[in-house]
Amino acid sequence: MSDKTPLNIGMIGYGFMGRAHSNAYCKVGNFFDTKYQPVLKAACARSQESVQAFADNWGYETIETDWRALLERDDIDAVDICVPNNLHREIALAAADAGKMILCEKPLAMDTAEGEEMCQAVEAAGVANMVWYNYRRVPAVSLAKQLIDEGRLGKIFHYRSVFLQDWTISEDLPQGGEALWRLDVDAAGSGVTGDLLAHCIDTAIWLNGGISTVSAMTETFIKERTHQLTGEVQKVGIDDACAFLARFENGSLATFESTRYARGHKALYTLEINGEHASISWDLHDLHRLSYFDHRDDSLVRGWRSIHVTDGDMPYMDKWWVPGLQIGYEHTFVHQVADFLESLETGEPASPTFRDALETQKICDAVLDSAQSGQWTEI
Amino acid sequence: MSDKTPLNIGMIGYGFMGRAHSNAYCKVGNFFDTKYQPVLKAACARSQESVQAFADNWGYETIETDWRALLERDDIDAVDICVPNNLHREIALAAADAGKMILCEKPLAMDTAEGEEMCQAVEAAGVANMVWYNYRRVPAVSLAKQLIDEGRLGKIFHYRSVFLQDWTISEDLPQGGEALWRLDVDAAGSGVTGDLLAHCIDTAIWLNGGISTVSAMTETFIKERTHQLTGEVQKVGIDDACAFLARFENGSLATFESTRYARGHKALYTLEINGEHASISWDLHDLHRLSYFDHRDDSLVRGWRSIHVTDGDMPYMDKWWVPGLQIGYEHTFVHQVADFLESLETGEPASPTFRDALETQKICDAVLDSAQSGQWTEI
Amino acid sequence: MSDKTPLNIGMIGYGFMGRAHSNAYCKVGNFFDTKYQPVLKAACARSQESVQAFADNWGYETIETDWRALLERDDIDAVDICVPNNLHREIALAAADAGKMILCEKPLAMDTAEGEEMCQAVEAAGVANMVWYNYRRVPAVSLAKQLIDEGRLGKIFHYRSVFLQDWTISEDLPQGGEALWRLDVDAAGSGVTGDLLAHCIDTAIWLNGGISTVSAMTETFIKERTHQLTGEVQKVGIDDACAFLARFENGSLATFESTRYARGHKALYTLEINGEHASISWDLHDLHRLSYFDHRDDSLVRGWRSIHVTDGDMPYMDKWWVPGLQIGYEHTFVHQVADFLESLETGEPASPTFRDALETQKICDAVLDSAQSGQWTEI
Amino acid sequence: MSDKTPLNIGMIGYGFMGRAHSNAYCKVGNFFDTKYQPVLKAACARSQESVQAFADNWGYETIETDWRALLERDDIDAVDICVPNNLHREIALAAADAGKMILCEKPLAMDTAEGEEMCQAVEAAGVANMVWYNYRRVPAVSLAKQLIDEGRLGKIFHYRSVFLQDWTISEDLPQGGEALWRLDVDAAGSGVTGDLLAHCIDTAIWLNGGISTVSAMTETFIKERTHQLTGEVQKVGIDDACAFLARFENGSLATFESTRYARGHKALYTLEINGEHASISWDLHDLHRLSYFDHRDDSLVRGWRSIHVTDGDMPYMDKWWVPGLQIGYEHTFVHQVADFLESLETGEPASPTFRDALETQKICDAVLDSAQSGQWTEI
């Protein structure tokens, strides 16, 4: 690996996403032949003890307890923002100002206004930027994109997507704090809309183009929860569930739904797209498979095909094992890092950029507005 | 069979549903031990040649070419209305007036006003009445009803249902006439809303109670089609696709969608219901299976259960074969006839009555209104 | 139906198969346009009370309590043998002697010697004959046959088939008598080999040609059971489970297995066949689907196709409903009757004839011999 | 990671398994809290260029081109044997003699005699030893083991397992050489028996105890192939397909089958085990799921459960992500390394040891003997 160009990473945060990204930085060089090699230069978080343990576990060379100090370091090339949503904007603006590349967790921001400010900052600074909508890099989803772009589906009539979970059904679950900030509206901005539907929307607009108008409803089933930090019972400000109708710019219709109250589903992110000639569906619970139906098949043997996306001619899969042997969730991040590193070589930005992710932010905002107003809302 | 009480059937219409119902009248006595035995007394349709062929095939004793003549006959106990939707009201009113029992194809009527008139007529006449929402009698769906009524799911959070087909995608398909009247708004009243979503709604309110408000969108992808009867290219008045959000009276949220433009799906009617403790899902393409997830299971072996609904302790299944051997679509009608015959014995009406079906009609109307107005619409 | 030629049926037996066949005779004319129309002329069984109830239920015109009397009647054209295996030979020989057509339940006989005698009898008498290996007439299985015959699979390498049940695991289950004669070796001849593997073998040789040699093992897990008729605890003589390796004449290899001790499987009859270019698999628990894999597909979208065998261009399916609406187990018998009736018109025997079924008998005998001797056994 | 005890690895070979193991050594410390930390000290292979590239890619500190030189180094604690089967014995004997721990790829040896010699060597030397039967460490398979050991299945009646592939169907595929040594009998010892069935057997005896007797058949469909090294058309000495019947010591019956000629299956390793109370099945193509059927469930909701093995209370899964997010093939090796490292702490050998793996070797030998002799063969 000695002849590779190091790319020094400064990681801010050490939670679930901090782990997933760190793993990706570690692995990418073993499997992808890129010019740049991520180097785990520094990990940063407020708790010295926690961040030191994290750094030891992953091999970060140094730690910081103040992200501003991290940004001042000359030995940091790229900053990875893995903190709650309400901190994205401030760090990103400062990082852009410091000339650092930025890899930011999704959703981009608390709202469109923040997101627009962030886009302008990175664009003005001219720094490479990317948002971690990792599901674009599931090989089966990348394959879907390829099939759609090749025109195999023909004119698109329908899109539908859900992201169903069941982990917040208990009334005893508190909100807020380290592990549960996603339930605290002040930290997260919204509930399932920004956390889960944002994934559905990002993939949808990548596969099927822009959304023009939405009609939404949201619900908060459990109205009050104890806050972990304050210890007090407080109003729950997030949406526990959200569903919306949409029309795409290409004339197709869509339904989207997300909830954390769908018993039996841990992380059931599904999508389906129906075209004139063919249809595709996919399911995160079996992420290594893609379902495909082609009406042009001989009618006697026409049916949904279950494609085991593990062959070398399928997206990213020549890097891994042999046909039939599946990869998992964490590989989506490895692929995204690989594409980011490649973008540094080619100068062609790796998607989704901040600007790409802003589009999802706008739709999330429109969805929440529509749920509030009870009106169809234009994007 | 000699000691059974005959129930003389007068069938109006001879299409797809005419066949399905005739088969049910023929078979019910072989499998169900009922006091009443349907007798195929008369078949009625305008074309003498067609109705004679139909009568010969199924063993109807006589034919009529005018439904008014049929209603005047003393040897007819019950009338089965299997004609296009725009004829339901007139025939039903006259049949009630003639004191006949009425079994009417779904949807009940062209709209709520017609339906209300029909309800009042049968109730005033005091005649037994039923609407052919046959999917309540899929054993797996009946089992779902039983599990829900037993409280196994707990508080309900979500309901979702789709009915997807793909048979009208070609622009070359004409509208109207004998086989394609469902595409002609004058005969059908609406497109997928009355034809397919009505099924989804009927099952939904049976399983989960009343719907209070909806937000819908509809689309007609192909704007003009040749009319089979006139030979002219005419505007298409039906909805090719319809999706809506809904809130149930019990506080649960729902999404519904139907289309005839979902490539790969012939008749994919699915439903899923998520409760606090358990969830259920079902799919018409494998109608003999029910999926069930129970969170109270030991966590190590917790998962969706695929129940092969063929055992003798499951609804209706003691009448058929042995465990493992599935029944099919047509059996739903046999079950409905059996329940109707039993209702004549017990005096307890077989569901859905006209009044029950009127509820679905109201929701369909609200859905179409909402799609037109772009507003949330109360039922 | 008046212009059809009646075919007067004399049914011997009134159990599970008696019901399945009676239903088929009743329905075939409603769905298939055949010259001959089965007429339920007489039902025959030793118990007058039981056979009268059966006749009443299905509409048999008369009853007999002695099958010899039935055979003497001039108004019987065809005899349907639905009694335990140990009675097949005697009745068939007498029926052939009486010039009756014979439809005999499977397996054909208690052993090859009996079967050979029966073949010679029907061939000498020149009477139409057929054995009820009904699974050939599952539309998905018929479609498999068509695809294989068209050469789509190329050279065949492998065949595998199982028939798994779980209904005899309890030690408390008795053997013998009316409902449980299949567990009594004197009535059944063998256990799963003749009851279940015979189905697997019949389909296999139909699809893939002759079997040349086998190596088998059998097991009787529960050694003694109470006999229902004698009330005594008696040795169990049947095989509870049987598995065998086989080589087909075309050079392909096979494994077969059957048991009544596979917890979780009610009637899981599966088959799979792997060819040079394509493979097929099928499963009785979802009998309306066929799985098909074609290696010649574009590699990016290559996968197992789940074919919902409900379209009008698929075997038998133009007679039933519309695409997407499945039929069930009982329809296989309707199809077999339809094919038998058609064979009377064309003079081309409907398969499997007694002679065809004798081939399965020979293989069953070889399997049981091999299990006994511990040696590979030639057919 | 500084306070961990290093375990210096000497890797011999750099093929598919060399990559899989190297990845496991790299990752284990990030996810498992073990006292020992593998250090990639040296990679060894005959081709200096190839091994240098491999070492660079994975971060091995040094290279060797002679495995005897590697064994002489004091800075190597454990040797990982990832070379063709015909080299296992010689290297293992020398490594044991040099006092190195040994992690050896499967199958252990070319035959039982070699394997016995290797067992005696490591036992005499007292060195830690393990064979890479990685599928024991699929979390779903580990969970199956746990459920069986807890007695949930009750008495076992049946076991069945297949390993089906389709990559050698083309006649144009050569044999021998670097990538295709598995097709060369001199390097591999056998075909699918040692390569694929060995996996099935190892898991089977782990889950269900010893096998006492087998009856097998093998086939070589393509009789001659060009040898990559000699360039000459040579007789194919391996078995392309192998199936066998077996009896376990606990009285259960089994079928096993493997082939590389099952079109449509890339690496379909499946297993099923049927007990008195419950059954389990698993499939490598969806390795993150376990199917479980429990007859003791309430009969109305009894069915096969599809368990998504991603929760924290399931084997190994607390180390990875969150419920619903699957891991893949490569993680089995990480788990095996973790268990090996833990065994160094506890002194309790990690399974399967050489001695454990010898049992599989004996069964493979018996299978091949039986296929040759046509006789049932005792283990």
Give the domain CATH number at C46. Answer: 3.40.50.720
* pLDDT tens digits along B76-120: 999 999 999 999 999 999 999 999 999 999 999 999 999 999 999
**What integer pLDDT is reported at residue C3 of this predicted model?**
82
* pLDDT tens digits along D201-256: 999 999 999 999 999 999 999 999 999 888 999 999 999 999 999 999 999 999 99
What is the least distance, in Å, from the CA of D297 to any CA of chain A?
18
From the list A146, A299, A307, the residue facing C303 with the nearest CB is A307
Query: What tokens appear for D283 in the block?
Result: 């499939």
Of the candidates C123, C113, C132, the one whose C-alpha atom is nearest the C-alpha of residue C11 is C132
* Burial class of residue B365 (count of CB atoms within 10 Å of its CB; 0-12, 13-18, 19+): buried
Domain closes at, from D134, D151, D184 = D134
Of the candidates A365, A360, A187, A191, the one whose C-alpha atom is nearest the C-alpha of residue A261 is A191
Whether residue C33 is found in the same domain as residue C152: no
Q: Does A328 touch chain D (CB under 8 A)?
A: yes
* pLDDT tens digits along C17-73: 999 999 999 999 999 999 999 999 999 999 999 999 999 999 999 999 999 999 999
Chain B hits for D299, Cβ within 8 Å = 311, 313
Domain closes at, from A105, A134, A163 = A134
Residue C329 predicted with pLDDT over 70: yes
Chain D neighbours (≥3 Cβ pairs under 8 A) are: A, B, C
> What average pLDDT does the segment B154-166 reach?
98
Whether residue D210 is found in the same domain as residue D336: yes
What is the least distance, in Å, from the CA of D38 to any CA of chain C?
39
The type of residue at D87 is L
Q: How many CA atoms lie within 13 A of D326 on its CB side?
A: 27
Cβ contact, residue pair C217, D375, below 8 Å: no
- Residues of chain C numbered 7-36 and touching chain B (CB < 8 Å): 16, 20, 22-23, 26-27, 29-30
**What integer pLDDT is reported at residue B229 of this predicted model?**
86
Tokens 């040609």 belong to residue: C209
Q: Where are the alpha helices (DSSP H) in B231-309?
A: none
Cβ contact, residue pair B292, D301, below 8 Å: yes
D158: containing domain: 135-378
Rounded to 5 degrees, φ, ψ at C332 are: -60, -35
Whether residue B139 is found in the same domain as residue B121: no
| Total structural domains within chain C | 2
Cβ contact, residue pair A27, D26, below 8 Å: yes
Quote the CA–CA distance of C108 and C354 in Å, as a whole number: 7
Q: Which residues on neighbouring strands pair with residue B159, listed in sequence order?
A: B254, B273
Res. D1 pLDDT band, cuts 50 70 90: very low
Mutating which of A152, A258, A274, A292 best tests the B interface, going by the most B Cβ atoms within 10 A?
Answer: A274
Whether residue B156 is found in the same domain as residue B66: no
What is the least distance, in Å, from the CA of C274 to any CA of chain D?
5
* pLDDT tens digits along A128-157: 999 999 999 999 999 999 999 999 999 999
Q: Which residues of chain A carry a pLDDT beneath 50?
A: 1
What is the least distance, in Å, from the CA of A30 to any CA of chain D?
6
**What integer pLDDT is reported at residue D2 of this predicted model?**
59
**What integer pLDDT is reported at residue C229 of this predicted model?**
87
- Chain A, nearest residue to C294 by Cα: A301
Quote the CA–CA distance of C10 and C7 in Å, as a whole number: 10
Neighbours of A62 (CB within 10 A): 15
Query: What tokens appear for B161 in the block?
Result: 């249902």
- CB distance A247 to A209 below 8 Å: no
- CB distance D2 to D34 below 8 Å: no
Residue A253: helix, strand or coil by DSSP? strand
Chain A with chain C: Cβ pairs closer than 8 A: 54
Whether residue A189 is found in the same domain as residue A234: yes
* pLDDT tens digits along B167-199: 999 999 999 888 899 999 999 999 999 999 999
Rounded to 5 degrees, φ, ψ at A14 are: -145, 25
For chain C, give the percent of residues with pLDDT over 70: 99
The type of residue at D46 is R
Sequence-ordered list of residues with C-beta below 8 angstroms from that of D26, at least 6 positions apart, any chain:
A26, A27, A30, D38, D40, D58, D59
Residue D194: helix, strand or coil by DSSP? helix
Res. B1 pLDDT band, cuts 50 70 90: very low
Whether residue D191 is found in the same domain as residue D51: no
Q: Does D276 touch chain C (CB under 8 A)?
A: yes
- CB burial of A37-57 (b: ≥16 within 10 Å; e: otherwise) equals bbbbbbbbbeeeebbbebbbb
Whether residue D278 is found in the same domain as residue D332: yes
Residue B239 predicted with pLDDT over 90: yes
Residue D179 predicted with pLDDT over 90: no
Q: Does A57 touch chain C (CB under 8 A)?
A: no
Residue B155: alpha-carbon gap to chain centroid? 27
> What average pLDDT does the segment C358-366 reach?
98
Sequence-ordered list of residues with C-beta below 8 angstroms from that of B306, at least 6 positions apart, any chain:
B289, B290, B291, D303, D304, D306
- Chain B, nearest residue to C135 by Cα: B325
What CATH number corresponds to the domain at position B324? 3.30.360.10
Q: Where are the alpha helices (DSSP H) in chain C?
A: 16-31, 48-58, 67-72, 88-97, 112-125, 139-149, 177-180, 185-188, 192, 198-208, 331-346, 354-373
Of the candidates C95, C22, C157, the one whose C-alpha atom is nearest the C-alpha of residue C354 is C95
Whether residue D167 is found in the same domain as residue D34: no
For chain B, give the percent of residues with pLDDT over 70: 99
Domain closes at, from C70, C104, C134 = C134
Chain B neighbours (≥3 Cβ pairs under 8 A) are: A, C, D
**What integer pLDDT is reported at residue A1 of this predicted model?**
47
- CB distance C58 to C40 below 8 Å: yes
Whether residue A208 is found in the same domain as residue A333: yes
Q: Does D293 touch chain C (CB under 8 A)?
A: yes
Q: Does D324 touch chain B (CB under 8 A)?
A: no
- CB distance C19 to C45 below 8 Å: no
Q: State if pTM tops 0.95.
A: yes
Chain D hits for C153, Cβ within 8 Å = 263
Quote the CA–CA distance of A129 and A80 in Å, as a whole number: 10
Sequence-ordered list of residues with C-beta below 8 angstroms from that of A92, at least 6 positions apart, any chain:
A81, A102, A104, A118, A121, A122, A354
Quote the CA–CA distance of C310 and B165 in Å, as a whole number: 14
- CB distance D43 to D58 below 8 Å: yes
- CB distance C76 to C10 below 8 Å: yes
Chain A hits for C314, Cβ within 8 Å = 300
Quote the CA–CA distance of D228 and D226 in Å, as a whole number: 6
- CB distance C166 to C264 below 8 Å: yes
Q: What Rg do the C-alpha atoms of chain D give, in angstroms?
A: 21
Chain B hits for C322, Cβ within 8 Å = 16, 266-267
Tokens 């059957």 belong to residue: C258
Whether residue B157 is found in the same domain as residue B126: no
Q: What share of chain A is helix, strand, coil (3-state, %, to 5)?
A: 40, 25, 35
In total, chain C counts a number of residues equal to: 379
Q: Which residue has the higher pLDDT, D261 or C179?
A: D261
Cβ contact, residue pair D305, B308, below 8 Å: no
Chain C with chain D: Cβ pairs closer than 8 A: 114
ipTM of the shown complex: 0.96
Res. C216 pLDDT band, cuts 50 70 90: very high
From the list C257, C274, C295, the residue facing D255 with the nearest CB is C257
Mean pLDDT of chain D: 97
Query: What tokens appear for C302 in the block?
Result: 């290559």
The type of residue at C291 is S
Whether residue D25 is found in the same domain as residue D147: no
What angle do the packed helices D48-58 and D16-31 form, to 10 degrees? 20
Whether residue B110 is found in the same domain as residue B194: no
* pLDDT tens digits along A290-323: 999 999 999 999 999 999 999 999 999 999 999 9
